[in-house]
Structure 1
C-alpha cells in the first residue's frame, strides 16, 4: 500500500452531517425571525463552522457566539441530528484495516463522535479518536495530528490525512503528512495544499493501492 495510516476528519468526510446540521441551524434562525436558504447555510458550512455562524450572526444582527449558544441549546433540547456515513465509508475502513492499515480520527466534534461511530457499528475500525477543544487547538492547527503521530509512532511519510475542508489540508501539511481532499458534491477550491483530491472512496482505494476485496 502507498500509506499505512489514515487520519480521518469526521463531519463532512466520514459522516454526511452538514445537511442535517444546517437544517437544525435553519430552524434555529427561523425561531429568531430570520429565514435563510438551506443552500446558503451549506455553502458557508462546508468552508467552516465559524463562517456559517458569522453569516447567521450578520443576518440576525447578533454576534456569532450568541448564535452558537442558541444553536447549542437547540441541540441540547432536540439531540444531535441524525446522520449516516457517506456511501462506502465502512467498506473503505474495512478494506484498509484488512490490508494492515490503521485508522484514526481527528475532529472538531466533541464526545458525540463516539455516539455516531457506535451507532453505525464503526468503532472497531479506529485505533484512536481525538477531538479538538480544551486539549488541542482546532484546525488548521496540526496539534491533533501531531499528537496521533507521536503517540502511535506513525511515520509521517506513510500517513495520509483525509478531510473535506482546506483547513484539514493545512493541518495535514503542518504535521508533515500528505492531505487528501474529499469533495463528494463537486470541485475543491482552486487553491489547495492537498496532494490528492477525491470525490468518492473508490478513488481513495486506488490512491491507497488497496488489494481487491475477496467475495464475502
Structure 2
C-alpha cells in the first residue's frame, strides 16, 4: 500500500458510464443517428468524452455536436442520482484511512462528485481534493496533483493516482507518483501503470 491515494471519480470510484454511455447514445439519437452503447462506452474509456464526440462527429458529419452534447448533458443530469460506487470502493477507502493513509479526490466533474460521495457515505474518507469547479488544467497535466501535494504536504514518492484511463496514469507519473489503472474489462492498451487491477479491492493486496 501507498501512504496517499488520489482518486479519479468517473469510472473509478463510481460506475458513471452506466449513465454516460446511454447519455451519449441519446445525444446522437436525437439527431437520428444510432450509436451503440458499447461503442460509446469504449470510446469514452479509451480516450475521453470529448474525444468520443469528436470521433463520432467525423463518422457522422451531419450531426450538430453542440446540440448532441447539450442533449447528452440533459440526459446525464436527469439520471445522475442513480450513479452507484463500484464494489469494493468503500472497503478500500476505509482501509486506507484505517492504516493511517489519506484519500484525495481528483476529478474533472464539478461539485456534484462531492455530493454523490456524501450520498454514498464515502466523503468521510477523503482529506480533500479538487473538482472541475477549481479550474485546474485537465489531466494528464499534473498541476492539480502538485497543488494537493504541496497543500497537504504529501510526498509523491509514497503516493499513487488511481484512475480508469491512460490520462489518469500519465497525470500521476507527471506528478512524480505511481499510477494504478482500474481496468475492469481490459480495454486500455496504450498505458504503462505501476499496477493494473480489474477490481478495486486488489489495490490493497
Report the TM-score when normalising by structure 1: 0.87
Question: Secondary structure at the residue paired with 1:184?
Answer: coil
Q: 2:165 maps to which residue?
A: 165
Instruction: Tell me which residue corresponds to 2:70.
Output: 69
Q: Distance in 2 between matches of 1:140 and 1:67?
A: 26
* Contact map agreement 2:28 2:63 (CA 8 A) in 1: no
1:63 Cα deviation from its structure 2 partner: 5.5
Per the alignment, residue 52 of structure 1 pairs with 52
- Change in CA separation of 1:81 and 1:154 when aligned onto 2, cut-off 3 Å: same
Report SS of the residue matched to 1:179: strand
Does residue 194 of structure 1 match 2:193? yes
| Deviation by residue 1:131-169 (Cα, 9 ceiling, x = unmatched) | 136620011111111111111000011111100100001
What's 1:40 paired with?
A: 39
- The number of aligned residues is 203
- The equivalent of 1:25 in structure 2 is 24
Shift of 1:66: 4.3
In structure 2, runs of 5+ residues without a counterpart are none
Matches of 1:199 and 1:73, distance apart in 2 = 31
Kept in 1, the 8 Å contact 2:7–2:162? The answer is yes
2:27–2:69 contact (8 Å) kept in structure 1:
no
In structure 1, how many angstroms separate the alpha carbons of the residues matched to 2:2 and 2:155?
9
Deviation, structure 1 residue 178: 0.5
Larger deviation, residues 100-109 vs 195-204: 195-204
Shift, 1:62, TM fit: 3.5
Change (3 A) 1:75 1:197: closer
User: Whose helix fraction is larger, Structure 1's or Structure 2's?
Assistant: 2
Match of 2:80, SS state, is coil
Which secondary structure does the structure 2 equivalent of 1:192 belong to? coil
More displaced, 131-140 or 39-48? 131-140
Unaligned 5+ segments in structure 1 are 207-216
Equivalent residue of 2:181, what SS? strand
Per-residue deviation, 1:42: 0.6
The Cα of 1:55 is off from its aligned counterpart by: 2.9
RMSD (Å), alpha carbons: 1.8
Alpha-carbon distance between aligned partners in 2 of 1:66 and 1:31, rounded to the nearest angstrom: 9
- Match runs of 1:100-179 below 5 Å: 100-132=100-132, 135-179=135-179
Q: Distance in 2 between matches of 1:118 and 1:22?
A: 24
